[in-house]
Structure 1
Amino acid sequence: MRSHLSPNQLLADQLEAAIQTLKQELPTLFEKDLSYDIYSSDIYFRDPINTFKGKFNYRIVFWTLRFHGRLFFTNLAFDLHDVYPVGDASIRADWTVRGTLRLPWKPDLLFNGYSLYQFNSEGLIYEHIDTWDRSPGEILKQFWPN
């Protein structure tokens, strides 16, 4: 029973639980699905190519990543470097995506980024914003021989 905890302590505990979930699930996001129980039903997601709201759409983006990853890459990895709290109701995850495209010249994909997760008063992630170290166009240029 956790009713004796203050709202701040309860949120801190939920952030720590979410950090552990992210540390466990993110490294395998190209291989298996996330659990989604740490996200609100109206989660807002934005990265340099997508913007949407809703847990159904959030699930679809991760399904799409896995599908296209298997289709277009001989190997694809999500290297999670660190996950840590930022302030009282946010988490940051630093990561690198790397892989080899299924083309005869076997071009490599590599880019770094970070995800910022914001928590609501119920202790669920309601916002996930990804920032990449280069533009989508710069990333696509990696696929063409020099």
Structure 2
Amino acid sequence: MSQKNPKSQIERVIETLKNDLPTLFENDISYDIYTKDIYFQDPVNRFKGKFNYRIIFWTLRFHARLFFTEIYFDLHEVNQPDPDTIKAYWTVRGTLRVPWKAQLFFNGDSTYKLTEEGLIYDHLDRWDRKPREILKQFLPQ
């Protein structure tokens, strides 16, 4: 990273993530820390562009309210392992809005890649289990 990437900008990105992520199922996130052509990938989605990025977070909030009586995004840690990388470690847990009150639970991590200016241009999510295994949690036990 060059001198164009002041430490204060990276600190602002980390602080924004720490503030935004724990409430992403209730409140919209701050989009000013992302480039307009942000690339996002998780085990079920892959797209590019800030408009699509906004839609994925709107969809998360919509589905959280529609399908869950409780849902949480527990942020465990945010760190900077490399000058151009930020990592976040988290757990999603919730109670599905069904008579048997199915419990959702999975862990994951997010890897954010930074431009020289300190904006996120790449967001890769990994989950500790396959999407099919997560969906099985919704079935009666």
- What TM-score comes out, normalization by structure 1 length? 0.93
The answer to whether the 8 A contact 1:12-1:88 is kept is no
**Equivalent residue in structure 1 for 2:49, among 24, 49, 54:** 54
| Aligned residue among 82, 95, 101 for 1:100 | 95
Larger CA Rg, structure 1 vs 2: 1
* Structure 1 residues 75-114: aligned runs within 5 Å: 75-114=70-109
Q: State the percentage of identical aligned residues.
A: 62
Inter-partner Cα distance in structure 1 for 2:99 and 2:2: 56
Counterpart amino acid of residue 72 in structure 2: A
Is 1:128 equivalent to 2:128 in the alignment? no
- Post-superposition offset of 1:50: 0.2
Contact 2:5 2:116 (C-alpha < 8 Å) held by counterparts: no
Q: Give the length in aligned residue pairs.
A: 141
Q: Secondary structure at the match of 1:138?
A: helix
| Structure 2 Cα separation of the partners of residues 10 and 87 of structure 1 | 13
Structure 2: give runs of 5+ residues left out of the alignment.
Answer: none
Q: Is the 1:27–1:77 contact (alpha carbons within 8 Å) kept by the matching residues of 2?
A: yes
Q: TM-score, normalised by structure 2?
A: 0.96
Aligned to 1:34: 29
Q: Which residue of 2 aligns with 1:24?
A: 19
Q: What is the CA-CA distance between 1:13 and the residue it aligns to? A: 2.4
**1:35 offset after TM fit, Å?**
1.3
Pair 1:13-2:8 in alignment? yes
Q: Where do 4+ consecutive residues of structure 1 move more than 6 Å?
A: none
